[in-house]
């Protein structure tokens, strides 16, 4: 998969894409990620990417010109058809099933906005899929784009080690993860549950399933009643 990210802050995003699982996936040729600075597509002396809104009002609006030019350049340099994604609090709420859809694409172009909003002709002219990562307001789309890229890349075949990915599949349903412990057996008066030390794998599996179900019922009852909630965030 190829992922292009259009942003005013490539320097914020690049270190994230050069770390951990994403770095490994890139090195393995599973994904290529390319950040493009929108400011490189400005045409005026001040390198403006935003301007005051027609009709007045507070704040600044992201202009069409640099964004259209950047997208046209990217799509000309590599004609692989891309799903265009605009990161905005007005978009559909991102979840694991959207991530799975995106992971099946050949190419994504993510557009990070700043300022108060986008010129509406960006929506009309570029017809992006609009995605939000939750009901709160970020100063820009970068953090949201990093969340989307991270979630999608993990799902690409070969991105995780073989073991992890098989394990991941079995949990990609909709219950939360069971409690985990590692050494030492007792820490500050808190012991590891006896069953985990028993070596009885059937009993351990049963205990974990029960813990996962109870924890989900307590914290995220919406995940256990999928008929009432269309959310599938695939959390563990």
Residues that bind ligand 6GU (CB under 6 A): 87-89, 132-134, 136-138, 140-141, 144
**Helix or strand or coil: residue 137?**
coil
Residue spans of beta strands (DSSP E) within 54-127 = 61-62, 83-93, 107-112, 117-118
CB 186, CB 192: distance < 8 Å: yes
Alpha carbon 200 to its chain's center: 38
Q: Check: CB of residue 59 under 8 Å from CB of residue 74.
A: no
Whose Cβ is closer to ligand 6GU: residue 116's or residue 167's?
116
Q: Minimum distance from CB of 210 to ligand 6GU (Å)?
A: 35
Please, which residue, 86 or 160, has the CB nearer to ligand 6GU? 86
Q: Where are the beta strands (DSSP E) in 105-154?
A: 107-112, 117-118, 129-132
Q: How far is the CB of 130 from ligand 6GU (least distance, A)?
A: 8
Enter the tokens of residue 208: 């974990």
Decide whether 115 or 171 has the Cβ nearer to ligand 6GU: 115
Tell me how far, at minimum, the Cβ of 111 lies from ligand 6GU, in Å.
Answer: 10
- Compare residues 134 and 158 and give the one whose CB is closer to ligand 6GU: 134
Which burial class, exposed, middle or buried, applies to 131 when counting CB atoms under 10 A from its CB (0-12, 13-18, 19+)? buried
Q: Helix or strand or coil: residue 78?
A: coil
Question: Closest separation between CB of residue 134 and ligand 6GU, Å?
Answer: 5
Closer residue to ligand 6GU (CB): 132 or 174: 132
> Smallest gap, in angstroms, from Cβ of residue 68 to ligand 6GU?
20
């Amino acid at each position: 998969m190829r992922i292009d990210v259009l942003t005013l802050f490539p320097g914020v995003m690049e270190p994230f894409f050069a770390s951990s699982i994403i770095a490994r996936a890139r090195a393995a040729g599973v994904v290529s990620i390319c950040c493009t600075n929108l400011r490189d597509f400005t045409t005026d002396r001040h390198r403006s990417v935003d301007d005051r809104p027609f009709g007045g009002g507070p704040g600044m609006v992201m202009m069409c010109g640099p964004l259209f030019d950047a997208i046209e350049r990217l799509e000309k340099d590599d004609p692989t058809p891309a799903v265009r994604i605009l990161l905005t609090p007005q978009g559909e709420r991102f979840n694991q099933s959207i991530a799975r859809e995106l992971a099946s694409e050949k190419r994504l172009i993510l557009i990070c906005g700043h300022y108060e909003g986008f010129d509406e002709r960006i929506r009309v002219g570029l017809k992006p899929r609009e995605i939000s990562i939750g009901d709160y307001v970020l100063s820009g789309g970068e953090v949201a784009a990093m969340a989307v890229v991270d979630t999608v890349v993990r799902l690409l075949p070969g991105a995780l080690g073989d073991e992890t990915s098989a394990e991941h599949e079995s949990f990609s349903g909709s219950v939360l993860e069971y409690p985990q412990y590692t050494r030492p057996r007792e820490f500050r008066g808190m012991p590891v549950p006896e069953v985990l030390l028993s070596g009885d794998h059937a009993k351990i599996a049963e205990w974990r399933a029960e813990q996962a179900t109870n924890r989900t019922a307590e914290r995220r009852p919406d995940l256990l009643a999928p008929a009432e909630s269309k959310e599938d965030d695939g959390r563990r």
